[in-house]
Amino acid sequence: MQYSTILGIESSCDDTAAAIWQNGKILANITAGQAVHEQFGGVVPELASRAHQSNIIPVIEIALKKAGIDGKSIDAIAFTRGPGLTGSLLVGINAAKGLAMGWNKPMIGVHHLQAHVSALFIDNPNPQFPVLCLLVSGGHTQLLLVKNYMDMEIIGSTLDDAAGEAFDKGAKLLGLPYPGGPHIDKLSKLGNPKRFHFQAGRVAELDFSFSGIKTSLLYFIRDNKEENPNFISENLQDICAGYQNSIIEYLISKTEKAIQQHKPASIGLAGGVSANSGLRTAFENLSEKHDINAIVPAFEYCTDNAAMIAAAGHYLLESGESTSFNALPFARG
Ligand code: KG4
Ligand code: ZN
């Protein structure tokens, strides 16, 4: 392997992360979150860039230290080039450029969503292709047919909100902190998932629509609060469990449709929402039902992290790619 040690850097949204990949193993995977956004109920881009700026160097230093590696032993630097918040991406790109120049090593820009898919291969380096991947994050919801490590086709995507947004916006309506997904997950474990049902958008084939489900939660809360002002606090666990279960059933039904249409060799679950315990169980059940191998990454590789960036960088570098020092970030794509 030409590039046996790779530093990965991720800064696309509100997590500053660095990881060390060496010959297929992750030696360190460090992420600094940004509590500053909690009080605003969502990510504030300017504050995110500033927090990245203060975190990026310490996070890289901690990753190198944890891996027991001197910067000069790094063979290449992988960084998230997009999509994401431009100011946040710039911090990671500039850190990568500075280190690549200082160490005289190549760098490789990585597509954030491709990297989420690469997370599948960190602990499963030789999957059976094609892998049908359900990618569910805060910004994207897609079904992808992954034919090889870096060769993937989008076969379904959301027409409006992402699954993570449905969790976060639903949590906000219930008065839970941002990001709401993990809070809904935790409360759902104590509730009855069958008491309340919320309808997600009915859209064709393998596409998704999540804007309707949060509106249905909004009206449900409004109507019930008219009769009982304490309705949320008295029923919070059941509301969370019903809302989460409705999202999961919707995601699973679309994935099942894709299995029937595309007959993949394996199925994989990626992106921040794949940390959801109910979704993980439902995904495993789906794989048993269809007698198909399921790849569900470890929690630390689900939400935004730099291990997946380093892993994606490895596949790109091995295929002969590299990125020039003139590279700019891309916000969408
Ligand atoms: O992949 P990610 O870390 O960032 C993006 O690329 O968007 O995904 C973040 C999303 C947020 O919407 C967050 O609420 C959701 O992942 N999330 C969860 C859980 N953990 C994170 N959603 C449901 N259950 C969880 N346990
Ligand atoms: Zn992400």
Quote the CA–CA distance of 136 and 156 in Å, as a whole number: 12
pTM of the model: 0.94
- pLDDT, mean of residues 6-35: 95
Q: How many CB atoms lie within 10 A of CB 236?
A: 17
Looking at residue 332, what is its pLDDT? 86
- pLDDT, mean of residues 124-130: 96
Confirm or reject: Cβ of 138 under 6 Å from ligand 1.
Answer: yes
pLDDT in tens, 235-268: 999 999 999 999 999 999 999 999 999 999 999 9
- pLDDT, mean of residues 179-187: 97
pLDDT in tens, 87-101: 999 999 999 999 999
- pLDDT, mean of residues 127-140: 96
Looking at residue 92, what is its pLDDT? 98
Per-residue confidence band for 43, with pLDDT thresholds at 50, 70 and 90: confident
Share of the chain above pLDDT 70, in %: 100
Ligand 2 center to 272 CA (angstroms): 6
Q: How many CB atoms lie within 10 A of CB 46?
A: 10
Is pLDDT above 90 for 80?
yes
Structure tokens of 279? 């979704």
**Helix H or strand E segment including 111:** strand 107-111
Looking at residue 284, what is its pLDDT? 97
Ligand 2 center to 83 CA (angstroms): 9
Is pLDDT above 80 for 273?
yes
Is pLDDT above 90 for 123?
yes
Looking at residue 37, what is its pLDDT? 83
Average pLDDT, the chain: 95
Ligand 2 center to 80 CA (angstroms): 10
Looking at residue 38, what is its pLDDT? 80
Query: Whose Cα sits closest to atom 3 in ligand 1?
Result: 303
Looking at residue 81, what is its pLDDT? 98
pLDDT in tens, 196-238: 999 988 888 999 999 999 999 999 999 999 999 999 999 999 9
Is pLDDT above 80 for 1?
no
Strands (DSSP E) along 126-210, which ranges? 131-136, 141-148, 151-157
Confirm or reject: Cβ of 139 under 6 Å from ligand 1.
Answer: yes
Q: Could you tell which of 12, 31, 137 is best to mutate to test the pocket of ligand 1, judged by most ligand atoms within 8 Å of the CB? A: 137
Is pLDDT above 90 for 129?
yes
Looking at residue 298, what is its pLDDT? 96
Confirm or reject: Cβ of 161 under 6 Å from ligand 1.
Answer: no
Ligand 1 center to 75 CA (angstroms): 31
Looking at residue 36, what is its pLDDT? 82
Looking at residue 41, what is its pLDDT? 78
> For residue 23, is it left (φ>0), alpha (ψ between -120 and 50) or beta?
left
Amino acid at 85: L
Q: Any residues with CB less than 8 A from the CB of 246 and at least 6 apart, and which? A: 197, 198, 199, 200, 213
Query: Whose Cα sits closest to atom 13 in ligand 1?
Result: 181
pLDDT in tens, 275-323: 999 999 999 999 999 999 999 999 999 999 999 999 999 999 999 999 9
The answer, yes or no, to whether the previous bond of 182 is cis (omega within 30 of 0) is no
